[in-house]
Every structure is written in C-alpha cells, then in structure tokens.
Amino acid sequence: MGMQTPVATGRSVTGIPTGRLAVWWIVGSEIVIFGGLLMYYIMLRNKFDFWSESSAHTNTFAGALNTFILLTSSLFIVMAHYYAEQKDHIKSFKYIWATIGGGLCFLLVKSMEWTFEIMSGYTITSELFWSFYYTAAGIHAVHVIAGMVIMGIISFDVLQRKNMHRVELIGIYWHFVDIVWIFLFPLLYIAK
Amino acid sequence: MMNFMSLLRESASTFANDIDNLIAWVAILGGFWWLIAEGVLLWLIVKFRHKDGVKAQYITGEKKEEMKWIHWPHNIILFCDLVIIVMAIKVWHHVKQELPPADDTIRVIGQQWSWRFIHSGKDGILGTPDDVEKVDELHVKVGQTYHFKLETTDVLHNFSVPVFRLKQDVIPGRVITGWFKPTMTGTFDIQCAEMCGIGHGIMMGRIHVETPEQYDQWLATQQNVAQTH
Amino acid sequence: MSSSTHAAHHDDHHHHLSFWQKYIFSTDHKVIGMQYLLTGIFMGVIGGYMSYVFRMQLAFPGKEVPFFGLVTAAEYNSLITNHGSIMIFWFAMPVLIAAFGNYLIPLMIGADDMVFPRINRLSYQIFLLSALILIASFFVPGGGFGGAWTAYPPLSAKAEYNLTPWGSSLWLLAVALEFVAFLLGGINFITTLMNARAKGMKYTDIPIVLWMIVIASILFMASVGPLIAGAIMLLFDQMIGTGFFDPARGGDPILWQHLFWFFGHPEVYVVLLPAMGIVAEVMTTFSRKKLFAYKTVLFTTIATGVLSFFVWAHHQFIAGIDPRMANIFVVTTVLISIPIAEMLFVYIATLYGGSIRFTTAMLFALAFLATFLIGGVTGIFLGASGADIYFHDTYFVIAHFHYTFVPIAVIAVFAGLYYWFPKMFGRFMNEKLGKIHFWGTFIPFNTIFLPLFFTGAAGDHRRIFTYANFPQLATPGLQDLRIIATYSVVAIMLFQFVFFWNFFYSMFRGAKAGKNPWNANTLEWVAPSPPPHGNFDVFPEVYRGPYEFSVPGRDQDFWPQNEKA
C-alpha cells in the first residue's frame, strides 16, 4: 500500500520531534500497566507474610546478573544513539546489535532460571507469589523481546543511513524496559 | 421531614428513616438546582431564538460581570455539597461504622443460589446445638437490635433487605458484620443484590419480623438441627 | 521543523487506488474515521437489540420475545452483560473518540492527515478484531459471558461458577484488545494535535472538541493500565488456574474491583468529554455566539479529569471496603460535581444573547444539556454514601447512568452526525426527517428511564430476569412501570429507522452542500465537502480563535479562523 508520508508527519509546532512524543506516550501507557501490576503485588504482599517464604527461593544471583546485563545493554544503546548523532552508521549498527545481544543474554539467564525453578516445583500455579513472579517477569520479558525485534528492524535502516532519529526513540523505550526491571528486581528477589 | 421514600417502599428499621431523610435532603437541594438550571436553559432557548434583524451579542465570558453569574451559583453549590457530605457521612457512620450492642445475632450464609440463616435458638447464643437453620427464611423480633455475620461459600453475593434499607456485599474468605433494628412487623423480601451467576434472579428470601410472642411460637415449632459450618 | 504552507501532496501518483486500498486498507484518517463510525454503529445496533430483548423479557416474563424466542436465565445475564460492554467499548468509545477524533482532528487543525497513518490503520484493525472476538463469544459452547460488564471475580474467574468457560475468556480478550486499539489510537491524537497544527494556531485557537478528545485520550491512557494488568491476571485465573483473585489461595476479589473502577470512573469522563466537545461546536454555530469563557471550560475539564482519579471507590461503598475509606470517597465524589456543574453552566450561558436556530443538530445539542442535567443531579444520591446503601445495585443506578450515557453516546453523537454530515458527504440530511427522529428519540428516552428511577427506589434490584419471584416487587403498579419502559424501548428503536433511512439516502441523494453550509469558523469548513485525500489545496493559516461569531462592527456574523484580518 504505497502511502505517502503526510505533510502533518513533518510538522513540529511544539519543537519536540513527533516520534519522541509518540514514544513518551507509549512509555506512559506502559508505566500505568506495570504500575497497576506492581501496586497489586505490593498490596497483597503486605497482607500475606507467608510470601516471604516463597520469595526466599528466587535466585538472587541470577536476578542481579540480569540487572547488570540490562544496565550494560542500556549503555550500549546510548552509544548507538551517540554514533547515530555522529552519523557513524556502522558503529551505531554495531552498538544496536550489542544491545540486542544484551537482551538475548538476559533472556538466556531467565530461561535457565525458570527451568530450574519449574523443575523444583515452583510453577505459575503453585502459589500466589510465584503467579506474580512469572506474570510480572513474563510481561517484562515480552517487552524485552518486542524491543529487540524493533531494534533489529531499525538497525537495518540505520545501515542504509535511513531514519537515524529512531535510534534515540528505541533507546527511550529500552531505558524504560530497564527501569521496570529495576523495580521488579528488589520486589521479586531482594524483599525476603 | 416528609418521608416520601416510604411511599415507594415501607421503612421498617431504625436507620431506614435516617437514610430516607438523607435521600429527601439530596432531593431537595439537588432538585432545587436542577429546576433552576433547566429553567434558565428553557428561558434562554425561548428568549434568544433567532429573530430576523436581531444580531447575536459578542460575549467572551471573561469579564467579571459576566463570570459572576457562574461564580455565585458555583459557590452556593459548593456549600450545598458540603452540607450533603456532612449528612451523608453521619448516616454512613451510624449504619456502617457503629455497632450498637446486640440483643441477638444471626449468621447469614449466601451461596449459589440461596440464603441460609442460622438463628441462635432458645438459648440466644449462636454456635450451640439449639441453633435453628432455615433456608431462604429469616425470623426476627421487632424492636430488638440484631447483629448479622455475613459469609459466602462461593462467589460474591449481597444481603439486601429493602424495607430495612440494608445492603451489604459478602466476600468469600471473610465474615462481615452489620446490624439492624426492625421497627415494623410483617413479612418482607430479602434480595441478593450482587450478580452471582445464572440463579441470581431466583435468589430470594423472606424475612418475618414478628412480635416476641409470634417469634417464640415460631421457635417452638422448629427442630433443633443446625448444620454448623 | 515548521509547518509548510505550500500545497499539500495530492495523490498524483495514486490515480487508481483499488477498492481495497481506498476503503479497506486505507491510511486516510477520514476513511479510518468512517470505518470506526460504521463498525461502532453496527455494534450499537447489536447492543440496542439486546436491550430490546431483555426489556421484553422483563415486561412479559416467560413469553417468547419476537425476533429472539424464549429468554433463559443464563441468556438474560449474557444479554445484559454484553449490552453494557458493547455500548461502552464498542459503540460509545469508537464513535465519540475514534470516529469523530480521526475525522475531525486533521481537518480542524489544517493538516492533511494524522501523523502516523499506518499506526492509525493498525489501531482500527485491532479494534475490528476485538469486535469480532466479542461476537464470536456469543456462539461458543456455554454461550456469551454473563457475569456483568464489571466481571467481578470469583464469578468471572472460575467456569464452575459462571458456567461460560469459553465466553468468559473471549469476552475478556476482546476487552483487552479494545484497550490496546485505543492506546494505539491515542498516539495519533495527541501527537497530531500537539505538533501538526496549522501555522498561527495557538493553544487557545484550538476548537474545544479537539481539546476534549485529546484530554479524554490522556485520561484513558492514564487509567487503563492497571485494568490491563488486572485483565491479564483474570485471564490467567480463568485459563491456567492461578489464584490472583481467589481468597483461598491468597488473592483478593476486592482488588479486582479497585483495578476495575480505578479505570471505570475516569472512563465515564473519557466518553463525556468528547460529547461535550461536540455539543460546544454545535451550540456555538447555531447560536452564533462565542463559547462563554473558553479558558474556564478548558480548566474545569482538566480539573474534572484529575479529580476523576480520586473518586472510584464510590462504586464500592457496599463492597466490603473499610467503611472509613468510604468517607474519603464521599468527599471527592460529591465535590467533583462542582467542575461539572460549572461546565454545564458555562455552556448554558453561551446561549445568552444568542440568535438560536433550531436545526436538528442544535435540537440534539440542547437535549444533551437538558438530559445530562438529570443524570448529573441523580448521581449525587449515589455519591452520598448513606443513601447509596439503599440505591446501590437498584434500577435507580441504571436510570442515573443512562441519563448520563445516553446523552453522551446517543444524543451528542446525533448532534455531531447531523452537524458534520454535509462535510463528510457533501450533502445535507433531510431536516424534516431529522426533527421526526429527534422527537422520536428524545421523548421515548425519557419515558424509558424516568419510570426506572421509581422502580429502583421501590426496590427493583439489578440484573434480575424476572421480578415474579419477589412478592414485594411483583405488584401491578411496578409491572406497569416496567411495561411502559419496555414499550418506550420499542418506540425509540423504531424511530431509529428514520435516522438510518435519512443517513444512507442523503449520502447519495441529499441536497448538495458546499464547503461551509452552516457559516461556521473552524478549519474543517475550509476544505471541500467531502474533503479529498490530503484535505486542503493550500494549507490554511490561523489568525483568530474558533468562535468569533457576531463580532461587532462586521457585516458577517462569523469570521473564519483562516481569513486574513
């Protein structure tokens, strides 16, 4: 469907690039979704002490490792944005893929972690704490995957020096995914 | 205060009158402002309909003389709102936060799709072998203060007695306590006022408010078989 | 980047768009707006049909309903559940926000389209999918979900309680997808309004309807998140047996209610605001008057929006929440009546000194004010917690919210359709038929719901398929009121045929309309009727506000925004 980009897309009355406004809107929507989930968790957690017994079984080391991985990958996407601004499309492309690599490592650690936990009998239906654990981390992981896919698509545009402004935009999204994890980590792994 | 609510549905408990009174006040204050607003709307529609040769006026609504027509009603409504808030909280507090000492207690257990009522029996104490359990049938004495303990075995239900102006949701995993004091004898509807599935519409009970003599007569005819849960 | 003033892109390269490209897979905001409008109206007809069926059952319990058959208790619950869900999610929201929003925003800001047309198209496609999933839910084993549109667990969470295993999950999935569609749609509304405005259009030059639609989008976005989280949890409870809302497993059914109503209350303003926006546009044009206190309207709208996040538990006074908490919500709930009353007074004040023409659109706009006033005032009975103890879950509540929802989703929508029809199709709707439709809608609407205030106050509780089992309610007097309400439903439905005939006939055979048949000021009246792809030959520039009617010293009683001084 050959669509011509409308003139409207190029306007910017506020001076803020339209793409950035759109990403902030998306991030805002997601904050409320995760916020609702986490509020629910916190309220129930306060009510039921027996949860601390379940949460003792989460793998804090894996959680900490994943936190480090995500933070590093956020650094990589910042570098990718820097090089995009410098018009160095090759370096930008490489750093985008480094970020995707970070996401992949995150998912790998998580898969191993979950496999072990499920085999130890801690499944999504075994107890409410675990229901939360898998649901919250699972929805987060879906967002990680989505981010990786979008980054991959953008990287190929970047290689052709097209739509370089989108590196910043996916960077904002990726930082948000990172921040959600930074909330999840203490709630799921540290609060014991 | 003319209790016009009791024209629609009899008022058969002590706090029913308090609730009806609150309703009456909201009707008066709200009704007053509603009449003014509709009246002004109608007047403006008639007065300012298009007439040939008469141009409309250019009014921004930003001048003080113009805004005062909004500010004055706004402030008076604020005052009316505060009155309503205070009255509402007083009634609410009396019905839902206070718990006058009980002359007797009843257990009310809702389930899909019937009510079980456990009366305290001859000894007046719940949880003893002489408790009387009835399905969809509740007996109480007029003029006595009752506590009720609400439970459900499955989904949400709501114990509703319209003539008492009594309503309370019941939640699985909890026992919720409330009270009432009947003021009128008679037989009245008990409803379930929270969607509880296919049988929600047939979940009907009857409450018999009786004189002490009638109540004792009824009690004497009951078997002392209570299924305590 | 500044807005360009040179000619808009034409579809020079697109002489021959196929039918599919032009109407089904279009990215043009006007086509997408129409898609939302027609889908929404279609769903509204289904929802209306459902109300006809269940009201016939209530008036003549146990009798076969013409064009349906016998109504079982299970079907009754499914009908009322889906009536409510459809009307809010698949009729009111798509028509008010997505149809009018998509159609009007680019036109009224002097742009050629939304900023992200492909995301726009995607949002409609997801919306359509959600509608299809909902309809599918009626035909699965067990039938459609019947746990009320509020879907409180444990009833909604366990098939052993609701007896609609497939229907429950499909309903929930449909609702969740509808939320996603509107979140996507919101991206376009806010970015387009903020960034793609015509040169010279300051914030206070933006027509109120656009502010309303965008603020509504923001309210929606900020409130729906927790419910999406809740919906995922409920879906897991339904499908894989988690216990998020199961007290026996540590969950809490009341927390679903909080998640639901935290969204549910702002949601009513999400639909109210666009309706008020439409009414403002129609009223100013047909009274030839500037909107009274534009800034006040804007600020009270924002105040209402913010306050709307603090009132939600008034839906839960009796639910078993801590009674002390209820008192906080009484204060916020009763006080929110103030900015709303202020907005209504400001609208009424706009009529003062006007020169009012009673076109069909104007009749509907005025009827909105008259009927919404009843809805608003009756809300106070419910916000006053002590009174709500009695009115909760009775027909009084139903009558209250239909006196708000019907003005919002039906009356204001008709005002907008009659008003913008000439722009959309280049032809007029027939005014005579319009007036017949108006009275045939306005009068029966009142005779449906006024009696229900009384049946509710007499004790009729909600979601009951027959009152025959309740001796105090099975009285001839009350049954007469129920029958009057039902006959009025039939009447209002019949009169809608007048509208449909008028709408579709006039689309092809109505009297031709020019660019600005109502002599209005806003930018959509600068484009041809109907506007081509790209909307404007030359992009307009803005020199004044949107409501400069009857400016003293001028011959014309209107002054288009784009006319040079």
Which residue reads 């009396």 in tokens?
B94
Question: Across residues C3-13, what is the average pLDDT?
Answer: 45
Q: Is the pLDDT of residue C14 over 70?
A: no
Residue C546: cis peptide before it, omega within 30 degrees of 0? no
pLDDT of C250 over the 70 cut = yes
**CB contact at 8 A, B47 and C319:** no
> Could you tell me what percent of chain B has a pLDDT over 90?
90
Q: Is the per-residue pLDDT at B50 higher than 80?
A: yes
CB atoms within 10 A of CB B153: 13
Contacts of C322 in chain B (CB under 8 A): none
Contact list, C245 vs chain A (CB under 8 Å):
none
Is residue B225 scored above 60 in pLDDT?
Answer: no
- Say which range, A51-55, A149-153, C418-422, has the weakest mean pLDDT: A51-55
- Please tell me the distance in Å from C185's CA to the nearest CA on chain B: 33
Of the candidates C184, C173, C253, C264, the one whose C-alpha atom is nearest the C-alpha of residue C224 is C264
Neighbours of chain B (3+ CB pairs under 8 A): C
Q: Say whether B37 and C344 touch across the interface (CB within 8 A).
A: yes
- Residue C379: what are its φ and ψ, rounded to 5°? -65, -30
Name the region of C288 (left: φ>0; alpha: ψ -120 to 50; beta: rest).
left
Query: How does the average pLDDT of chain B come out, rounded?
Result: 94
Tell me if B33 sits within 8 A of B80, measured CB to CB. yes
Q: Give the strand pairing for B186-192 and B204-210.
A: antiparallel
- In angstroms, the Cα distances linking C60 to A25, C49, C54 are 50, 16, 10
The answer to whether the CB of C118 falls within 8 A of the CB of A3 is yes
Six-digit token string for B126: 């719940």
Is C330 in Cβ contact with B92 (below 8 Å)?
yes
Q: Residue A127: what pLDDT?
A: 86
Evaluate whether A169 touches A33 at the Cβ level (below 8 Å): no
Q: How many CA atoms, within 13 angstroms, populate the side-chain half-sphere of residue A162?
A: 5
Please give the Cα distance from C140 to B179 (Å, whole number). 44
Question: Is there an interface between C and A (3+ Cβ pairs < 8 A)?
Answer: yes
pLDDT at C13: 47
User: Cβ contacts (< 8 Å) between B54 and chain C: which residues?
Assistant: 355
Interface of C with B in 378-397 (CB under 8 A): 378, 380-381, 383-387, 389-390, 392-394
| H or E element at residue B161 | strand B157-161
User: Tokens for C2?
Assistant: 């500044």
pLDDT grade, residue A54 (50/70/90)? confident
Q: Which residue has the tokens 């923001």?
A: C218
Pairwise CA distance, residues A57 & A130, whole Å: 10
Q: Residues B26-49: what's their mean pLDDT? A: 97
Per-residue model confidence (pLDDT) at position A192 = 64
Token look-up 């609410």 returns B92
Which of B44, B69, B43 shows the shortest CA–CA distance to C289?
Answer: B44
φ/ψ (deg, to 5) at B133? -105, 130
Q: How far apart are alpha carbons C119 and A3 in whole angstroms?
A: 12
| Interval A159-192: pLDDT, tens | 999 999 999 999 999 999 999 999 999 988 887 6
Confidence (pLDDT) at C395: 98
pLDDT of amino acid C245? 95
Nearest CA to B106 out of B201, B204, B20, B209 is that of B209
Banded model confidence at residue C8, pLDDT cuts 50, 70, 90 = very low
Tell me the average pLDDT across C376-398: 97
The total of other beta-carbon atoms located within 10 Å of residue C15's CB is: 6
pLDDT of residue C6: 45
**pLDDT for B118-148, tens place per residue?**
999 988 899 998 899 999 999 999 999 999 9
pLDDT band at A52 (very low <50, low <70, confident <90, very high): low
Total count of residues recorded for chain A: 192
Number of neighbours of residue C322 by Cβ within 10 angstroms: 11
Residue C550 backbone zone (phi > 0: left; psi -120 to 50: alpha; other: beta)? left
Q: Using an 8 Å Cβ cutoff, are C450 and C399 in contact? A: yes
Confirm if B176 and B150 have CB atoms less than 8 A apart: yes
pLDDT band at C10 (very low <50, low <70, confident <90, very high): very low
pLDDT tier for residue A126 given thresholds of 50, 70 and 90:
confident
What does the DSSP assignment read for C233-280? HHHHHHHH---TT-GGGT--HHHHHHHHHHHHHHHHHHHHHHHHHHHH
Single-letter amino acid code for the residue at B201: G
Q: What is the pLDDT of residue C5?
A: 44
Average pLDDT on C245-249 reads: 92
Percentage of chain C lying above the pLDDT 70 cut: 97
Q: Whole-angstrom Cα distance, residue C327 to residue C314? A: 9
CB neighbours of residue C11 within 10 Å = 15
CB contact under 8 A, A1 and C25: yes
Is the Cβ pair C111, A12 closer than 8 Å? no
Return the residue of B nearest to C334 by Cα: B81
Min Cα separation C201/chain B (Å)? 19
Does residue C559 sit at the B interface (CB-CB below 8 Å)?
no
- Does A12 sit within 8 Å of C252, measured CB to CB? no
Banded pLDDT at B176 (limits 50, 70, 90):
very high
What does the block give as tokens for B26?
């909201």
Q: B158 to chain C: which residues are within 8 Å by CB?
A: 318, 393
For residue C12, pLDDT over 50 is answered with no
Hey, which residues does C279 pair with through a beta bridge?
none
- pLDDT band, residue C162 (cuts 50/70/90): very high
- Helix and strand numbers (H, E) in chain C are 18, 0
Among partner residues A33, A50, A51, which is closest to C229 by beta-carbon distance? Answer: A33
Give chain C positions within 8 Å (CB) of B60. 290, 292-294
pLDDT digits (tens, 9 = 90+) for C309-355: 999 999 999 999 999 999 999 999 999 999 999 999 999 999 999 99
pLDDT at A49: 66
- Complex ipTM: 0.95
* Residues B127, B143: Cα–Cα separation, whole Å: 23
pLDDT at C16: 67
Contact between C79 and C53 (Cβ < 8 Å)? yes
Please judge whether A12 and C195 are an interchain contact, meaning their C-beta atoms are less than 8 angstroms apart.
Answer: yes
Question: Can you give the pTM of this predicted structure?
Answer: 0.95
Contact A21 C194 (CB under 8 A): yes
Strands B186-192, B104-111: pairing kind: unpaired
